[in-house]
Amino acid sequence: MRIKLVDDRQRHCGEVECDLDAIMTQAEQLGGDIFARSISIMEEHIGFAISESSKVYVHKFLRQFMAMGESKAQLIIQIKNTEKKTRDKPVLVDITTTSFEEVVTFPNKQYQERFERLVGLDALKKQVQKEAAVLLAPELLQKWSKQHHGVELSALRAFRDRYPFMIFEGDVGTGKTEFAETFGASIADAINKKVTLARMSMKSRGNGVVGEMSKLITKAFQDARAISDSSKAPVILLLDEADSLAQSREESQMHHEDRAGVNALIQGIDHVRDASYPILVVFCTNRSQAIDPAIKRRAAVIHTFTRPNLEQRLHVFQKHFAELNLRPEQYMELAELSGEIEGRSYGFTYSDLITRIIPQAVFSAFPDSRLTFEIIKNVVLQLKPTPQFKEG
C-alpha cells in the first residue's frame, strides 16, 4: 500500500510503500497490542514519528484493514516533523518467512510470570542475569568500572573476545528450556532495553537435500540479524535440542550434510559478534557431550541444570501448597519422599513436581473433598519420576 505523508499543516511531504499485511503479521508475532505495535513498526519503516492525532486515525484504519483484508482508501499519515529519525532505513522483517517457531519481545508480562514460577533457581537467575546483561549491553561493565574505580579496568579486556553464546545443559525436565524461553523478560528489565527472543525451528534440519541444512541454519542467523537491525535492539537466538544440529563432527557415522550444518553453526556464532546490535545465542541440550568441541569452546558460559535438591523440592511444595497450612515436618516429608529414596537413586524433576504431582494431587481431591497432606503424600508415593536420561 502506498502511504501519503503530510506535516502538521497538511502539506505533502512524500509517499512511501508499506506492506500492511507484513507489518501486522510481525506485530502479532511480537506480541502485545497488535495495533500499537503495528504503528511502532510503521514509524520505523517510514523513518518518521507519527503525530498523536494521526495515530488514532491509523489505529482505526488498521482495524478496518484487518476486518476487511483490504482497503481502497489511501492512508494519509501526519508526521511530527520532516526530519528523518534515522538516515538508514530499518529493515522490515516478515516473521512468517523466517526460520523461527516463535518470536517474542520483552518486556512481556506473561513471560515474566513464567520466569518467576521457576522456583528454587534464584542463584542461577541472578548469575545468568549478570552474564547475559554484560553480553547484550557490554557498556554496563565500562559504566560499573568507571563508577567504582574511576577508570576502565584492564580486566575488562578479557570480555572483549568472548562469544555471545551460552549453553544450558541438563537432564530432561530440569527447567532449562523454560528458563531459556523466559529469562529474556528479566534481562530486558535489567538492561532497560527491548529484547527479542527468536526460537529456531527444528525444521532447520531440512529434508536431507544436500546443502539444505546449512542454508537453513545460515538463514536463521541472518534472520536474527535482520530482527535486531529492524528493532535496533538485542536479540536472543534460542536453539532447543541443540545436540540434534550441533553434534560432534568426530562421530564416525556422521553424514556429510550434518557436518556442513555444524560448520554453518560455527560460522553463525562467529559472525554474530560483528552484528550492529548484540545477538546472544543460547543452546539447550540434554546431551552436551554430543555437541561438537569447537562449538563448546566458543561458549562464554555453560550452565548445568540439575534435578531439584531437598531444599528446592521443599520450596516447591511450600510455594504451591501455601494455603493448606501444613506443618513444617509435613512439607519436609513430601520433599524427602520426592527425592532419592531406597531403591531409587534419583528424585523427581521440576517438571514432574509442577506438571504431574501438584495437578494430580488437586484432581485427587476435586470435586468432593478437601486437599490434604495425606492426599498429596499418596500421589508422591504412587507416581514415578522421569527416568534419568542416558546416552544410547
What would the pLDDT profile of 162-208 be if each residue is shown by its tens digit? 999 999 999 888 999 999 999 999 999 999 999 999 998 655 555 55
Domain 95-305, CATH among 2.60.40.10, 3.30.390.10, 3.40.50.300, 3.40.50.10470: 3.40.50.300
For 244-282, write each residue's pLDDT tens digit. Answer: 777 766 654 556 667 788 899 999 999 999 899 999 999
- Give me the chain's average pLDDT, please: 86
Residue 90: the pLDDT is 41
State the pLDDT confidence band at 1, using cuts at 50, 70 and 90: confident
In angstroms, rounded to a whole number, what is the distance separating the alpha carbons of residues 45 and 36?
14
Q: How do the domains of the chain map onto residue ranges?
A: 2-78, 95-305, 310-382
Q: Which residues, listed in sequence order, are joined to residue 343 by a DSSP beta bridge?
A: none
pTM of the predicted structure, to 2 decimals: 0.72
SS3 content of the chain, % helix, strand, coil (to 5): 55, 15, 35
- pLDDT above 50 for 91: no
The answer to whether residues 334 and 316 touch, using CB atoms and an 8 Å cutoff, is no
Q: How far is CA 162 from CA 165, 254, 272, 297, 361, in A?
A: 8, 29, 11, 10, 47
In angstroms, rounded to a whole number, what is the distance separating the alpha carbons of residues 342 and 298?
41
Q: What proportion of the chain, given as a percentage, has pLDDT over 90?
A: 53
Q: Report the 10 Å Cβ neighbour count for 363.
A: 12
The answer to whether residues 312 and 119 touch, using CB atoms and an 8 Å cutoff, is yes
Residue 92: the pLDDT is 46
